[in-house]
């Protein structure tokens, strides 16, 4: 029976071009070999399973190869390469610092460094998990690391660079290895599956790659695990069942419930998740990631940041269109706070359920806020309309009066003003009768209007605006007072009404001129005799402020201190 070799060992890269996801590092190492710029110490650091030790071995084999290719890869045919591939090379030495971390172990290594290579040009010493060395061992290693023999090269590998003392770091060229991207991992798993004659769904390989979290060794181990269960055909369901991964459908379903405020279905779905053996903390972290992926899908430029299969990506795009950015940000905040509080909670299930109920309430809160804003806008608009209604009514009635004056044929009644001037009937030729001839003498806009003529014209105008009670009641009883030279003043109670009438004064003057046929002018002034009921009611912001300042003398000091407006 043939012995089984795990995929992580069977498909371990043998040259630089087969290393996954570390192109910048492999290119730099090949360039240093090409130009013969080899340092005496290297430090490879990065997450687990990304190829640190593998690259160290490939680098060691390549610099000792006698027949390197044009791409500066090892030939795998010379004696040095064969001895390396068969694990019998005396030029490459590996030390596990996790179990050999004492001063005595380092002293033994230093003694070994003195022996030159028998085959090849360099002796390479690979020290894995170098951060496990004790401080005394590091100090004992310093001198040799700084000034080794010309044939000795040290390659240190670690996952925790921060634990290495600075004096060691300063003597090494440091290479930071990256997490392997999901798409790169999927491509390599597809290659391995093809080599093994296994049919695998792309979504299943995506799940494996995400579960590995950037470690190729872990991804290959998960791949072997699922193959042992499912045989030569791997499906998405096989992957989530064996790797204890919560199905994406649960998160999509819950998000729909959140948007519809369906509390009951939300709690029942979470209960089903717990019955399937998933931990509440595992669920809430996955939910936070789900909201993050939905937010990423809101913008086409950030869609590539989501690391899922193409089929699931389409689901994310569809659901993200239903969610507002405000909803997603609030939901992420709630789920993240739940994750932070989960460990210290006494009732962990209640904590998760309460967080989900808060997320359910987000849509209702957003809708209520929008309705409140709409109501506030409506009230503001109505207030603005109410403030301008007086002026608008004046304009409408002035236009109506002008139309009546411009259509003499429709006038059936006649009113006279003063010495026979016609107010609603057109001026007729002087040869019709004596009274009409007398009226024709006043058809020009010359002459001075008397107080009596102005008061009667004012009353006629008031009669025409009876359909607007507010304006009618405001102007009723406000008799214009002559100042001479056709200038008449009207007292107004309140600055607000004064401002409104000033904006429409031109129309009012034009209407009165059409009635009187004289060039009169109006002037609106604040009344000195304001009724007692109105004297206690400030109208403008400045009047309100002065009213309050009279009651509290410290108000002016408060306004000056903080630089406030009225």
Q: pLDDT tens-digit profile of 10-22?
A: 899 988 989 998 9
Report the C-alpha gap between 77 and 96 in whole angstroms: 28
Q: Tell me, what DSSP letter sits at residue 308?
A: S
**Picking from 117-126, 500-509, 549-558, which range would have the lowest pLDDT averaged per residue?**
500-509
Does 323 lie in the same domain as 261?
yes
Q: Point out the domain boundary residue: 242, 260, 280.
A: 242
Whether 384 is in a domain gets the answer no
Does 62 lie in the same domain as 34?
yes
pLDDT at position 435, please?
42
Please check the confidence at residue 429 and state whether its pLDDT lies above 60.
no
- Residues 68-93: what's their mean pLDDT? 88
Does 170 lie in the same domain as 48?
yes
pLDDT at position 433, please?
43
- Look at residue 43 and give its three-state secondary structure: strand
Question: Token pair for residue 139?
Answer: 């100090």
Report the C-alpha gap between 279 and 273 in whole angstroms: 8
- Residues 497-525: what's their mean pLDDT? 80
Share of the chain above pLDDT 70, in %: 84
When divided into structural domains, the chain yields a total of: 3
Better-predicted residue by pLDDT, 499 or 84? 84
pLDDT at position 427, please?
44
Please check the confidence at residue 495 and state whether its pLDDT lies above 80.
no
Phi–psi pair at 431, nearest 5 degrees: -85, 0
Q: Which helix (H) or strand (E) holds 490?
A: strand 487-492
For the ranges 229-233, 270-274, 425-429, 540-544, the maximum mean pLDDT occurs at 270-274
Question: Token pair for residue 3?
Answer: 């012995």
Confidence band (pLDDT; 50, 70, 90) for 403?
A: low
pLDDT at position 556, please?
83
Does 205 lie in the same domain as 108?
no
Sign of the four-CA dihedral 474, 480, 483, 486: positive
Q: Give the global pTM.
A: 0.60
Confidence band (pLDDT; 50, 70, 90) for 426?
A: very low
CATH of the domain at 290: 1.20.272.10
pLDDT at position 38, please?
92
Does 144 lie in the same domain as 35?
yes
pLDDT at position 168, please?
93
- Residues 404-423: what's their mean pLDDT? 44
Please check the confidence at residue 530 and state whether its pLDDT lies above 50.
no
Question: Token pair for residue 270?
Answer: 């979470």
Does 47 lie in the same domain as 170?
yes
Please check the confidence at residue 508 and state whether its pLDDT lies above 80.
no
Q: Which structural domain, as residue segments, surrounds residue 216?
A: 182-242
Report the C-alpha gap between 20 and 26 in whole angstroms: 10
Q: Point out the domain boundary residue: 325, 342, 360.
A: 360
Does 350 lie in the same domain as 306?
yes
pLDDT at position 419, please?
41
Q: Point out the domain boundary residue: 194, 214, 242.
A: 242
**Picking from 19-33, 387-401, 457-471, which range would have the lowest pLDDT averaged per residue?**
387-401
Whether 391 is in a domain gets the answer no
Question: CA nearest 545: which of 527, 528, 564?
Answer: 564
Confidence band (pLDDT; 50, 70, 90) for 486?
A: confident
Better-predicted residue by pLDDT, 127 or 244? 127
pLDDT at position 293, please?
92
Confidence band (pLDDT; 50, 70, 90) for 40?
A: very high
Question: CA nearest 184: which of 20, 311, 50?
Answer: 20
Whether 316 is in a domain gets the answer yes
pLDDT at position 447, please?
77
Question: Token pair for residue 459?
Answer: 């009353």
**Picking from 97-101, 358-362, 520-524, which range would have the lowest pLDDT averaged per residue?**
520-524
Helix axes 182-196, 202-212, angle to 10 degrees: 120
Please check the confidence at residue 462 and state whether its pLDDT lies above 90.
no
Please check the confidence at residue 411 and state whether its pLDDT lies above 80.
no
**Mean pLDDT, the chain, whole residue set:** 82
The tally of CA atoms less than 13 A away on the side-chain side of residue 545 is 11
- Residues 317-344: what's their mean pLDDT? 93
Confidence band (pLDDT; 50, 70, 90) for 305?
A: confident
Question: CA nearest 185: which of 217, 149, 140?
Answer: 217
CATH of the domain at 207: 1.10.8.60
Does 162 lie in the same domain as 16?
yes
Question: Token pair for residue 554?
Answer: 């410290």
Does 152 lie in the same domain as 69?
yes
Does 340 lie in the same domain as 225?
no
Whether 146 is in a domain gets the answer yes
- Look at residue 191 and give its three-state secondary structure: helix
Phi–psi pair at 359, nearest 5 degrees: -65, -35
- Residues 516-530: what's their mean pLDDT? 75
Q: pLDDT tens-digit profile of 196-233?
A: 999 999 889 999 998 898 899 999 999 999 999 888 89
Please check the confidence at residue 445 and state whether its pLDDT lies above 60.
no
pLDDT at position 470, please?
67
Q: Tell me, what DSSP letter sits at residue 443?
A: -
- Residues 550-556: what's their mean pLDDT? 82
Does 236 lie in the same domain as 106?
no
Does 123 lie in the same domain as 166?
yes
Report the C-alpha gap between 500 and 492 in whole angstroms: 11
Whether 489 is in a domain gets the answer no
Q: Tell me, what DSSP letter sits at residue 36?
A: T
Confidence band (pLDDT; 50, 70, 90) for 158?
A: very high
Report the C-alpha gap between 339 and 355 in whole angstroms: 10
pLDDT at position 418, please?
44
CATH of the domain at 155: 3.40.50.300
Whether 80 is in a domain gets the answer yes
Please check the confidence at residue 432 and state whether its pLDDT lies above 60.
no
Report the C-alpha gap between 125 and 392 in whole angstroms: 94
Better-predicted residue by pLDDT, 431 or 160? 160
Whether 67 is in a domain gets the answer yes
- Residues 546-556: what's their mean pLDDT? 81
pLDDT at position 384, please?
61
Better-predicted residue by pLDDT, 549 or 406? 549
pLDDT at position 131, please?
93
Confidence band (pLDDT; 50, 70, 90) for 1?
A: very low
CB-CB contact of 216 with 50 (8 Å): yes
Interstrand relation of 152-158 and 123-128 (parallel, antiparallel or unpaired):
parallel
pLDDT at position 457, please?
84
Please check the confidence at residue 327 and state whether its pLDDT lies above 80.
yes
Confidence band (pLDDT; 50, 70, 90) for 446?
A: low
Whether 18 is in a domain gets the answer yes
Report the C-alpha gap between 323 and 256 in whole angstroms: 9
Cβ burial 202-235 (10 Å sphere, 16+ → b, else e):
ebbbbbbbbbbebbbbbbbbbbbebbeebeeebe
Report the C-alpha gap between 314 and 382 in whole angstroms: 46
The tally of CA atoms less than 13 A away on the side-chain side of residue 288 is 16
């Amino acid at each position: 029976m043939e012995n089984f070799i795990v995929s992580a060992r069977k498909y371990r890269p043998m040259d630089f071009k087969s290393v996954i996801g570390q192109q910048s590092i492999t290119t730099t190492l090949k360039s240093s070999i090409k130009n013969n710029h080899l340092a005496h110490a290297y430090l490879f650091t990065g997450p687990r399973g990304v190829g640190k030790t593998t690259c160290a071995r490939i680098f060691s084999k390549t610099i000792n190869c006698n027949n390197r290719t044009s791409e500066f890869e090892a030939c795998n045919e010379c004696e040095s390469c064969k001895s390396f591939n068969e694990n019998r090379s005396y030029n490459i030495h590996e030390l596990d610092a996790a179990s050999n971390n004492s001063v005595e172990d380092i002293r033994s290594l230093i003694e070994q460094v003195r022996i030159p290579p028998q085959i090849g040009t360099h002796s390479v010493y690979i020290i894995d998990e170098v951060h496990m060395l004790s401080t005394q061992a590091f100090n004992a290693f310093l001198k040799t690391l700084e000034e080794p023999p010309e044939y000795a090269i040290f390659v240190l590998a670690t996952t925790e660079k921060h634990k290495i003392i600075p004096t060691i770091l300063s003597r090494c060229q440091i290479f930071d290895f990256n997490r392997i991207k999901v798409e790169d991992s999927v491509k390599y798993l597809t290659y391995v599956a093809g080599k093994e004659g296994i049919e695998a769904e792309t979504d299943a390989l995506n799940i494996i790659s995400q579960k590995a979290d950037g470690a190729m060794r872990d991804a290959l181990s998960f791949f072997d695990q699922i193959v042992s269960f499912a045989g030569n055909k791997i499906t998405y369901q096989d992957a989530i069942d064996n790797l204890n991964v919560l199905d994406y459908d649960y998160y999509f379903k819950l998000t729909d419930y959140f948007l519809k405020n369906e509390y009951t279905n939300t709690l029942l779905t979470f209960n089903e998740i717990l019955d399937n053996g998933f931990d509440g903390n595992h669920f809430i972290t996955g939910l936070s990631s789900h909201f993050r992926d939905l937010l990423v899908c809101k913008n086409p430029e950030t869609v590539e940041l989501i690391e899922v299969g193409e089929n699931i990506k389409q689901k994310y795009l569809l659901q993200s269109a239903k969610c507002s950015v405000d909803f997603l940000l609030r939901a992420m905040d709630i789920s993240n706070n739940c994750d932070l509080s989960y460990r210290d909670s006494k009732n962990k299930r209640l904590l998760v359920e309460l967080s989900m109920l808060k997320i359910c309430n987000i849509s209702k809160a957003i809708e209520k806020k929008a309705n409140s804003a709409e109501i506030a806008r409506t009230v503001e608009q109505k207030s603005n309309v109410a403030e301008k209604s007086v002026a608008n009514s004046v304009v409408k009635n002035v236009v109506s009066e002008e139309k009546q004056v411009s259509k003499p044929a429709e006038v059936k009644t006649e009113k006279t003003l003063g010495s026979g001037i016609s107010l609603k009937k057109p001026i007729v030729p002087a040869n019709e009768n004596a009274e009409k001839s007398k009226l024709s003498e006043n058809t020009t806009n010359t002459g001075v209007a008397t107080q009596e003529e102005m008061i009667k014209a004012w009353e006629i105008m008031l009669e025409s605006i009876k359909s607007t009670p507010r304006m009618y009641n405001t102007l009723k009883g406000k008799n214009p007072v002559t100042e001479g030279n056709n200038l008449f003043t009207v007292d107004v109670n309140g600055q607000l009404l004064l401002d409104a009438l000033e904006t429409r004064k031109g129309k009012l003057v034009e209407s009165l001129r059409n009635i009187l046929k004289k060039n009169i002018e109006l002037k609106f002034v604040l009344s000195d005799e304001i009724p007692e009921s109105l004297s206690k009611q400030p109208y403008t912001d400045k009047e309100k402020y002065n009213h309050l300042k009279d009651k509290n003398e410290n108000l002016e000091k408060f306004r000056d201190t903080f630089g406030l407006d009225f």
